[in-house]
């Protein structure tokens, strides 16, 4: 599978051989050697994404700790530690054949016992694994190279959840009998991956060295990956500009800097390798708020929002309009039909009048505070955009700023808000990434990124619960389509856009984003032009 993919890519590139030399560099055979400097915004709290799914940890984890599968851009599985996989027709038995002769960095063999142990561990302590593997009732290991998962109910999303960063395969001999949260392996990991952990200088960098005993003898190409952390976006722009950083992902610079950086001859901008986690930004209403429990007010707001203008001003063009909480990137599930509430300020004004909010003094109908999720630098701009937009129909918006924890506490624990701007990752499947926002049983106080709106529609619940266990892909898609129609009409939130993330890299870096999770993957095939 891997070989076919590589062959097609080469064929495409040969077709483009009239391109300038910078692109043609990619045609040459990969060169061994060199140090790749990987620039990150924040330092991870642990180097294995077992007990956390925070972005900094996800970014580094897979270099050392691999998964059973990797995925192409359309989230179709490919071999990593598992070479073959089959799912029984009833969707309740998964069989994996493991790659033979794989060794952990400490020399111990990787076997089915490690897989069985890891899946149990993920099911009990991984923040998302608790849900993803909830239906796994038994893990059988008939021989050292075979693993069978028995499920109590089908879980059609499970086969997409097995990347290195999402479901890391841990060394059982290091974890068994210890408290996995306190295990020192989190700070100095041992895995099967293409790179061995060498050094973590806190606050400064992590060094990974090439693993000479990697199961794919031809890989990896680079001798060393150095991860550096630079929290200031302006400083990161400079690091890319002067060549002290080779690669960074999820648009590691301020959007306003992109235009300038794009003119530099030493940088390239990659949009591939982001399909494992599409985000959707939305305006969520608190349906318990006396103002927003009125559908007419929500409709009026939907009528005022110009998504194209958001893309232009807030996202500097780096985003895609969406009317649905399922991102356009998840092509098979996404419903591209526009919102029933088109851009119409007159209609909005009329709806607000009907709702009992006539224009008062200073052309203001009512004032309401707006909260926003402070993660990501466009959220504040989006809040300002909303204030201007809603001001045009007489809704006075007071923006309320908070840092991340204070925001999470206000929204999900105190529920002291009226409406908010938020972002949710769709992850690899709507059951994992989208269901949580609309499922009435996931209205849980104190649980961040649950059903913040307190939306409760039995029909939607039934659709989501049905899609979670439906093994016929066509039926499953139909269920999600109907779900999107309903939430599009009932407006527990207004979906706005899906940000387009760029991987910024030096021209000397090649083959960094070959999988759905791109730079978050094991980066075994990345190579550098000699300096």
Give the orientation angle of helix 473-490 with respect to helix 458-469, to 10 degrees: 160
For residues 18 and 382, give the distance between their C-alpha atoms in angstroms, rounded to a whole number. 42
**Binders of other proteins in range 327-386 (CB under 8 A):** 373, 375
Give the residue, chosen from 33, 142, 234, 317, that forms a contact with other proteins under the rule CB under 8 A. Answer: 234
Supply the minimum distance, in Å, between the C-beta of residue 165 and other proteins.
12
Determine the Cα–Cα distance for residues 198 and 219; give it in Å rounded to an integer: 18
**Binding residue for other proteins (CB under 8 A) from 19, 181, 364, 401?**
181
Distance of closest approach, residue 417 Cβ to other proteins, in angstroms: 13
Stretch that binds other proteins, among 198-206, 377-385, 389-397, 482-490 (CB under 8 A): 198-206
Contact between 232 and other proteins (CB under 8 A)? yes
CB of 185 to other proteins, least distance (A): 10
Report the residue from 95, 313, 425, 457 that binds other proteins according to the rule CB under 8 A. 425
Tokens 């007010």 sit on residue: 297
Identified binder of other proteins from the candidate list 30, 109, 396, 448, rule CB under 8 A = 448
User: How distant is the alpha carbon of residue 138 from its chain centre?
Assistant: 28
Q: Are 243 and 236 in contact (CB under 8 A)?
A: no
Q: In angstroms, rounded to a whole number, what is the distance separating the alpha carbons of residues 517 and 39? A: 17
Give min distance, CB of 515 to other proteins, in A.
20
Instruction: Please pick, from the candidates 8, 86, 152, 204, the single residue that binds other proteins as defined by CB under 8 A.
Output: 204
405 binds other proteins (CB under 8 A): yes
In which residue are the tokens 């973590």 written?
Answer: 200
- Residue closest to 342 by CA, chosen among 293, 316, 382, 307: 307
CA distances from 309 to 116, 386, 502 (A): 50, 11, 20
Q: Is 228 in the site for other proteins (CB under 8 A)?
A: yes
Q: For residue 334, which of 70, 74, 53, 69 has the smallest C-alpha distance?
A: 74
Residues in 116-145 at the binding interface with other proteins, rule: CB under 8 A: 125, 127-128, 130-131
Q: What is the DSSP string of 357-378?
A: ----GGG-SEEEEEEE--SSTH
C-alpha to C-alpha distance for 197 and 200, rounded to whole angstroms: 8
Site for other proteins in 40-99 (CB under 8 A): 42-43, 45-46, 52-56
- Whichever of 67 and 394 has its CB closer to other proteins, that residue is 67
Enumerate the β-bridge partners of residue 194.
Answer: none
- Shortest CB 435 distance to other proteins, Å: 11
83 prior amide bond cis, ω within 30: no
Out of 25, 100, 231, 358, point to the residue binding other proteins (CB under 8 A): 231
Return residues touching other proteins (CB under 8 A).
35, 37, 42-43, 45-46, 52-56, 125, 127-128, 130-131, 181-182, 184, 186-187, 201-205, 207, 224, 226, 228-232, 234-235, 238-239, 241-242, 244, 373, 375, 402-410, 412-413, 423-425, 436, 444, 446-450
């Amino acid at each position: 599978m891997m070989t076919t993919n590589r062959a097609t890519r080469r064929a495409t590139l040969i077709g483009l051989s009239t391109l300038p030399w910078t692109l043609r560099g990619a045609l040459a055979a990969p060169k061994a050697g060199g140090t790749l400097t990987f620039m990150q915004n924040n330092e991870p709290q642990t180097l294995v994404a077992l007990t956390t799914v925070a972005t900094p940890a996800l970014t580094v984890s897979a270099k050392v700790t691999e998964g059973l599968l990797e995925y192409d851009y359309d989230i179709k599985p490919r071999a990593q530690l598992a070479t073959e996989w089959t799912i029984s027709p009833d969707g309740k038995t998964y069989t994996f054949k493991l790659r033979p002769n794989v060794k952990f960095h400490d020399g111990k063999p990787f076997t089915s016992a490690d897989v069985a142990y890891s899946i149990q561990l993920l099911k009990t302590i991984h923040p998302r694994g608790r849900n993803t593997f909830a239906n796994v009732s038994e893990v059988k290991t008939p021989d050292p190279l075979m693993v069978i998962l028995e499920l109590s109910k089908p879980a059609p999303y499970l086969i997409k959840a097995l990347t290195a960063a999402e479901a890391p395969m841990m060394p059982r001999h290091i974890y068994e009998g210890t408290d996995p949260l306190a295990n020192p392996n989190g700070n100095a990991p041992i895995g099967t991956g293409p790179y061995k952990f060498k050094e973590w200088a806190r606050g400064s960098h992590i060094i990974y060295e090439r693993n000479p005993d990697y199961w794919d003898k031809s890989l990896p190409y680079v001798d060393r990956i150095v991860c550096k952390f630079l929290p200031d976006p302006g400083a990161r722009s400079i690091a890319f500009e002067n060549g002290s950083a080779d690669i960074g992902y999820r648009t590691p610079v301020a959007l306003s800097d992109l235009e300038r950086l794009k003119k530099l001859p030493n940088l390239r901008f990659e949009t591939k390798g982001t399909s494992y986690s599409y985000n959707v930004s939305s305006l969520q209403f608190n349906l318990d708020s006396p103002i927003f429990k009125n559908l007419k007010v929500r409709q009026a707001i939907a009528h005022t929002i110009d998504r194209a203008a958001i893309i232009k001003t807030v996202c500097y063009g780096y985003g895609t309009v969406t009317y649905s909480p399922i991102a356009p990137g998840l092509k098979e599930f996404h419903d591209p039909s526009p919102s029933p509430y088109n851009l119409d300020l007159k209609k909005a004004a009329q709806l607000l009048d009907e709702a009992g909010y006539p224009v008062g003094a200073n052309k203001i109908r009512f004032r309401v505070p707006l909260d926003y999720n402070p993660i990501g630098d466009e959220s504040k701009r989006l809040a300002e955009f909303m204030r201007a937009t809603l001001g045009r129909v007489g809704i006075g918006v007071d923006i309320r700023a908070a840092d991340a924890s204070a925001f999470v506490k206000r929204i999900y624990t105190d529920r002291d808000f009226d409406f908010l701007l938020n972002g949710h990752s769709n992850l690899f499947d709507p059951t994992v990434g989208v269901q949580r926002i609309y499922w009435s049983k996931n209205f849980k106080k104190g649980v961040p990124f649950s059903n913040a709106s307190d939306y409760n529609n039995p029909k939607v619940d039934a659709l989501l619960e049905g899609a979670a266990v439906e093994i016929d892909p066509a039926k499953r898609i139909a269920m999600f389509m109907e779900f999107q129609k309903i939430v599009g009409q009932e407006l527990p939130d207004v979906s706005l856009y899906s940000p387009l993330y760029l991987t910024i890299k030096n021209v000397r870096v090649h083959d960094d984003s070959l999988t759905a999770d791109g730079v978050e993957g094991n980066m075994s095939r990345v190579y550098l032009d000699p300096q």
